[in-house]
Structure 1
Amino acid sequence: MTFKTEFEIPIEPKPQTRPKFSKWGTYEDPKMKKWRKQVTGWIEKNYNGPFFDNCVKVDVTFYMRAPQTLLKEPTARSKSKTVQMYQKFINELIWHVKKPDIDNLVKAIFDSISDAGYDKIQKSGIVWSDDNIVCDLRAKKKYSQNPRIKVRIEEIDR
């Protein structure tokens, strides 16, 4: 039997930051730590899908906050190109081609999924044993009025 699950995290995507170094040691950016804790908490509270411990395929879409130019609704006198662009935006069809890099977004969400419900004895979370079981990955960034993260996980044959 092949397991599948899909869930949408209603939290704005944030890229994984680099660790900070000081003379007292290494530490994570406090804003990043807070974001990860928020995402992990959401998963722990809302996830009710299967547990994955074999090879999985992940499809993740990051719906990013749009710039003000896209958020502005066209008027009756707007050019058709502006109206078409707004319609594409409303339907979430415009790719996000600016920073942050998609690999840093993936790292942040995968680490948060791995941390959700983490059991130190069994060394696994509630969604998967570890993000190293991800063998196939598709990640997308799109503009949206509603920033969020959509995750689809499917077990695949080895």
Structure 2
Amino acid sequence: MINLTLPIAPVAAGRPRFNRNGHAYDPKKSKVFKRQVESMLKFMYREKPISGKPIEVYVAFYREIQSSISKKEHARRANHEHMPIHKPDTDNYIKSILDAMNGILWTDDNLIVHIDAYKYYDDNPRIEINVKEWIK
């Protein structure tokens, strides 16, 4: 149905902050990331948002390989032999990207009945998204 690759490093959703009136808002880093993703999506996807049918979402988050590791470890991470098992959590990446896609790729994220998500290290940070209609 929809296959997109966003050339942007993934950013995990930050904990909501609260103003003096008790209203919640996104931390600056999360807010900037969501705006960038929304802008890219609007450019890349010009169809109407999916509505009224269950969907599956598959997302792969490719985060940058740190420069402070050995060449051997860099090669392991680049070949996806060593997976990122440290923070940020995969679910925080998911929350961040789903919030940004809401209203652009689909009308509401309550349409999502299945999610598969992975996080990898890579020399080319990006987010790969695959959305398809759920079929029993």
TM value normalised by structure 1: 0.75
Distance 1:157 1:29, change over 3 A: same
| Aligned partner letter, 1:11 | I
Match of 1:43 in 2: 41
Match of 1:65 in 2: 64
Equivalent position to 1:108, from 74, 81, 96: 96
Match of 1:94 in 2: 82
Match of 2:111 in 1: 133
Conserved in 2, the CA contact under 8 Å of 1:64 and 1:141?
yes
Q: Mean Cα displacement is larger for which, 50-59 or 130-139? A: 50-59
Conserved in 2, the CA contact under 8 Å of 1:5 and 1:50?
no
Equivalent position to 2:124, from 146, 150, 155: 146
1:127 deviation in Å?
1.2
Please tell me the root mean square deviation across aligned C-alpha atoms, in Å.
2.0
The Cα offsets for residues 35-54 of structure 1, whole Å up to 9 and x where unpaired, read as 11111001001114674221
Unaligned runs of 5+ in 1: 75-81, 115-124
Equivalent position to 1:7, from 4, 8, 17: 4
| Aligned partner letter, 1:66 | I
Q: Distance in 1 between matches of 2:135 and 2:129?
A: 20
Match of 1:78 in 2: none
The Cα offsets for residues 50-108 of structure 1, whole Å up to 9 and x where unpaired, read as 742211111100001112245x6x4xxxxxxx3xx544433344311110011110010
Q: Secondary structure at the match of 1:135?
A: strand
Conserved in 2, the CA contact under 8 Å of 1:52 and 1:155?
no
Aligned residues with identical type, % of pairs: 30
Conserved in 2, the CA contact under 8 Å of 1:59 and 1:137?
yes
| Aligned partner letter, 1:155 | E
Unaligned runs of 5+ in 2: none
Q: Distance in 1 between matches of 2:92 and 2:74?
A: 28
